Amino acid sequence: MEKFKPLPSLPAPVKTTGIVGWLRSNLFSSPLNSVMSLILGYIVLSLLIPAINWAFIKADWFGTSRDACTSGGACWVFITSRFSQFIYGFYPETEYWRVDTTFVVLAACLAWLMIDHLPWKKWVSIFAVFVFPFVAYVLMHGGHFGLMEVETHRWGGFMLTLVIAVVGIAAALPLGILLALGRRSQMPVIKSFCVVFIEVWRGVPLITVLFMASVMLPLFVPQDITFDKLLRALIGITLFQSAYMAEVVRGGLQAIPKGQYEAADALGLSYWRSMSMIILPQALKMMIPGIVNTFIALFKDTSLVLIIGLFDLLAIVQAALTDPKWLGFSTEGYVFVALMFWVFCFGMSRYSQHLERKLHTGHKR
Amino acid sequence: MSSEAKKPQAHSTMPNNKPLFWNDPEKRALFFQALLILAVGGAIWIIVDNTLANLEQRGITTGFDFLSKPAGFGILQSLIEYNEQESYGRTFIVGLLNTLLVSGIGIALATMLGFVIGVARLSHNWLISRLALVYIEIFRNIPLLLQIFFWYFAVLRALPTAKQSLSIGESVFLNIRGLYIPSPVFEAGSSIILIALIAGVIASFFVARWAHKRQDDTGQIFPTTWVNLGLIVGLPVIAFFISGSPVSLEYPELKGFNFRGGITVIPEFLALLVALSIYTAAFIAEIVRSGIQSVHHGQTEAAHALGLPHGRTLKLVIIPQAMRVIIPPLTSQYLNLTKNSSLATAIGYPDLVSVFAGTTLNQTGQAVEIIFITMAVYLLISLLISVFMNWYNKRMSLVER
């Protein structure tokens, strides 16, 4: 008798593999799905092709005035010819290097802290928190060390957007942590003060907070003190964001098991020691995605400062659109601003998702 | 007397473990709270003192008397009678109603759009789920103010003039001045339709109760939804024809340079509404997706094993459980939408902030009172929405036994 010899297994049916298989299972799995796919595919193509045509193929990229726009597509000349104003506002052109240096240092610090396995993280973070703010202020505002003074009303564009967002979050985070701790405190007066503070700022729109900051803050201080417009906006944004931050921190604190608090008490640690050495490090680790989300919200909200007359990226593009030499290019302008904001916000949200996966370790079984 | 003498005796064998004054948690708590009260009180006192001095120096009167003075400026859109002789108090009401109108319609639109996109995101059709993802990622990551500007300045400003209006069936017109839709005209006898509608609603309530009881008694399911739909829609329609069709539509007509008749929706309202709905719907879609995904697939399998058809599984098993996850974050989105409607001021839609904290503040200069009223109103709206949603949440929440 011949020995049993298994035949090699047949390849999977063509219907389930390759492009055909993918199409069958993902686009044409049922008659209804097929119809929907065809209709949607037609709509998408009929929108996408003219859009690509407008933005790339028929677009004009080079030139100095609107006369260069002859192809009938998007006129990116409007953006390129005003690019430096959109980025730096009315900052003097010879001093651009100061802004660049500040943001390069900031980006380097952040990158150092974000990339794993780099040494001296502790020293970098100490530099970023305690030294960098003064360096940044001296560099950008000037007036010391022979640097020309550039008053804040000449700041604008994307640079101002970044300044407001970074200062806002850096100031709101510690305030938010204090408020969250206060909200969970046993002391009734402190607790109710924090609850009222948080709920009031969370219950009103940011615009009214900015109005309040710009109209009422000057009334609150003696006549002879003048408040910088940017500083007023920053105070308003910080108060507003700290309330949101406090709720994020509270979520993190609530997620710490009670045993951790009890263990800290059992070790005889004082309140501040147990918070700073046991509870907050764990809570902050869990809260990083929430903090990044708050930062994204703040980053988008910076555009509201145009209502109180500060020229952030959106405001400066909006102002450029009313220039009689460049009337009728609002779509190009808005697409540019949208792209700038989108790249930053999307990048941050992807980073927060990455962190969520990376940090999802200790509490996973 | 003797007990006092005895007490230290009893503790004499143990070390004195009474903490020092500044280490006693209770006393320290009292001290810190007193400190906070002093600090806050002091800050308020300094602020009030400075403010009063500053106001006096600038010659601004305090108090709420300005509310009854005539405003003297026109408002683009008002839901109630308003003209320039009316008081500042009336401008407040007009602005508030406009805010409520745009947030109310915006919430309804954003919820519908958000649910559709959220469900589409979970579709097995690759194209549909990808399109939903693209929608969410685009609109969530672009500032709302920019979206409002885009719709207002780039889209609505590019519409044709009144003469070349875009139209649907010669009854709805869209041009640079806004959207023109037919308005209903109620003639004598139209109250019968309203009565029929109320009767239909009441009847459907009883039908639902009866059907529920019948299902408890006999196990038979009555098609409540269809019968009730027939009652609520059918009765008014019958009443409409019996009473000799007393409701008619007034169509907008082009007369001279503009449309007359019908309802005019101003472009500021349209831009704000579209931007708010599209922006918030992106967030709602993600909430809906996470809510549906949070219901374990075993629930669907169990329902199917019990013999429930697909629609009933969705209605009775999946959606009630998903709603528990969805409602709390949905509430925050409703609040956000209402608060974000204040961005109206950037394009000149006459909402509360634009009319009251904008024009009225500039004319009267009474910043303290006006900002205070505006913030208080938004706080109140926020509280009302969250109280209502919390009540709804409690009603829907899991009953643990």
Three-state helix/strand/coil letters over chain A? CCCCCCCCCCCCCHHHCHHHHHHHHHCCCCHHHHHHHHHHHHHHHHHHHHHHHHHHHCCECCCCCHHHCCCCCCECHHHHHHHHHHHHCCCCHHHHHHHHHHHHHHHHHHHHHHCCCCCCHHHHHHHHHHHHHHHHHHHHHCCCCCCCCCCHHHCCHHHHHHHHHHHHHHHHHHHHHHHHHHHCCCCHHHHHHHHHHHHHHHHCCHHHHHHHHHHCHHHHCCCCCCCCHHHHHHHHHHHHHHHHHHHHHHHHHHCCCHHHHHHHHHCCCCHHHHHHHHHHHHHHHHHHHHHHHHHHHHHHHHHHHHHHCCCEHHHHHHHHHCCHHHCCCHHHHHHHHHHHHHHHHHHHHHHHHHHHHHHCCCCCC
Please give the pLDDT value at position B311.
81
Q: Is pLDDT of A75 > 50?
A: yes
Residue from the list A36, A188, A334 with its beta carbon closest to the beta carbon of B125: A36
Subunit contact B50:A338, Cβ cutoff 8 A: no
Helix H or strand E encompassing B17 = none
In the chain, the amino acid numbered B33 is: Q
Mean pLDDT of B64-84: 81
Subunit contact B339:A205, Cβ cutoff 8 A: yes
Q: Is pLDDT of A162 > 90?
A: yes
Q: Is pLDDT of B241 > 70?
A: yes
Please give the pLDDT value at position B2.
43
Please give the pLDDT value at position B280.
96
Q: Is B185 helix (H, G, I), strand (E, B) or coil?
A: strand
Chain A residues touching residue B367 (CB < 8 angstroms): 215-216, 219
Subunit contact A303:B55, Cβ cutoff 8 A: no
Please give the pLDDT value at position B3.
45
- Chain A nearest-CA residue for B343: A207
Residue from the list A36, A193, A205 with its beta carbon closest to the beta carbon of B342: A205
Mean pLDDT of B304-316: 86
Would you state the structure tokens that stand for residue B211, as one six-digit string? 């059907």
Chain B residues touching residue A37 (CB < 8 angstroms): 125, 127-128
Subunit contact A37:B127, Cβ cutoff 8 A: yes
Subunit contact A200:B346, Cβ cutoff 8 A: no
- Provide the ipTM: 0.88
Subunit contact A189:B142, Cβ cutoff 8 A: no
Mean pLDDT of B175-192: 81
Subunit contact B55:A219, Cβ cutoff 8 A: yes
Subunit contact B128:A211, Cβ cutoff 8 A: no
Residue B59 Rama label (left phi>0; alpha psi -120 to 50; beta)? left
Please give the pLDDT value at position B109.
97
Indicate the burial class of B285 (C-beta count within 10 angstroms; 0-12, 13-18, 19 or more): buried
CA dist A284 and A294 (Å) reads 14
Mean pLDDT of B306-333: 86
Subunit contact B29:A187, Cβ cutoff 8 A: yes
Residue from the list A190, A204, A223 with its beta carbon closest to the beta carbon of B54: A223
Chain A residues touching residue B141 (CB < 8 angstroms): 296, 300, 341-342, 345-346, 349
Q: Is pLDDT of B277 > 50?
A: yes
Mean pLDDT of B230-249: 82
Please give the pLDDT value at position B400.
63
Inter-CA distances, A299 with A177, A303, B11, B109, B401, Å: 20, 8, 62, 26, 45
Indicate the burial class of B232 (C-beta count within 10 angstroms; 0-12, 13-18, 19 or more): middle
Please give the pLDDT value at position B187.
77
Residue from the list B128, B143, B154 with its beta carbon closest to the beta carbon of A40: B128
- A362 confidence band (pLDDT: 50, 70, 90): low
CA dist A127 and A144 (Å) reads 21
B240: contact with A, CB 8 A cutoff: no
Please give the pLDDT value at position B17.
66
Q: CA nearest B262: which of B160, B168, B159?
A: B168
Please give the pLDDT value at position A143.
83
Q: Is pLDDT of B359 > 90?
A: no
Residue from the list A27, A207, A223 with its beta carbon closest to the beta carbon of B342: A207
CA quadruple B79, B81, B87, B92: dihedral, nearest 10: -10
Helix H or strand E encompassing B247 = strand B247-250
pLDDT tens-digit series, residues B87-131: 888 889 999 999 999 999 999 999 999 999 998 998 888 999 999
pLDDT tens-digit series, residues B245-260: 777 788 887 777 777 7
Chain B residues touching residue A41 (CB < 8 angstroms): 127
Contacts of B68 (CB under 8 A, 6+ apart): B87, B88, B89
pLDDT tens-digit series, residues B6-23: 444 444 455 566 667 767
Closest Cα in chain A, distance from residue B234 (Å): 32
Between CA A316 and CA B68, with CA A207 as vertex, the angle to 5 degrees is: 125
Closest Cα in chain B, distance from residue A230 (Å): 19
Q: Is pLDDT of A191 > 70?
A: yes
Closest Cα in chain A, distance from residue B277 (Å): 17
pLDDT-above-90 percentage for chain B: 30
Please give the pLDDT value at position B63.
79
User: How many inter-chain contacts (A to B, CB under 8 Å) are there?
Assistant: 146
pLDDT tens-digit series, residues B165-178: 888 777 888 888 88
Among A286-300, B55-69, B214-228, B364-378, whose mean pLDDT is lowest? Answer: B55-69
Would you state the structure tokens that stand for residue B69, as one six-digit string? 């003075």
Indicate the burial class of A257 (C-beta count within 10 angstroms; 0-12, 13-18, 19 or more): exposed
Indicate the burial class of B261 (C-beta count within 10 angstroms; 0-12, 13-18, 19 or more): middle
B154: contact with A, CB 8 A cutoff: yes
Higher-pLDDT residue of A62 and A163 is A163
Please give the pLDDT value at position B148.
95
- The distance in angstroms from the start CA to the end CA of chain B is 56
CA dist B354 and B369 (Å) reads 16
pLDDT-above-70 percentage for chain B: 93
Helix H or strand E encompassing B367 = helix B367-396
pLDDT tens-digit series, residues B29-39: 888 889 989 99
Strand B178-181 to strand B263-265: parallel, antiparallel, or no bridges (unpaired)? antiparallel
B residues 22-81 near A, CB within 8 Å?
A: 29, 32-33, 36-37, 40, 47, 50-51, 53-55, 57
Residue from the list A27, A221, A303 with its beta carbon closest to the beta carbon of B125: A27
In the chain, the amino acid numbered B28 is: R
Mean pLDDT of B287-314: 89
Residue from the list A36, A216, A318 with its beta carbon closest to the beta carbon of B368: A216
Contacts of B238 (CB under 8 A, 6+ apart): B196
Chain B residues touching residue A337 (CB < 8 angstroms): 146
Chain B residues touching residue A215 (CB < 8 angstroms): 361, 367, 371
With beta carbons less than 8 A apart as the criterion, state whether B242 and B317 touch. no
Please give the pLDDT value at position B177.
83
Rg, C-alpha atoms of chain A: 27
pLDDT tens-digit series, residues A16-64: 778 888 888 888 888 888 898 999 999 999 999 999 998 888 888 888 8
- B5 confidence band (pLDDT: 50, 70, 90): very low
Mean pLDDT of B138-152: 94
Higher-pLDDT residue of B8 and A245 is A245
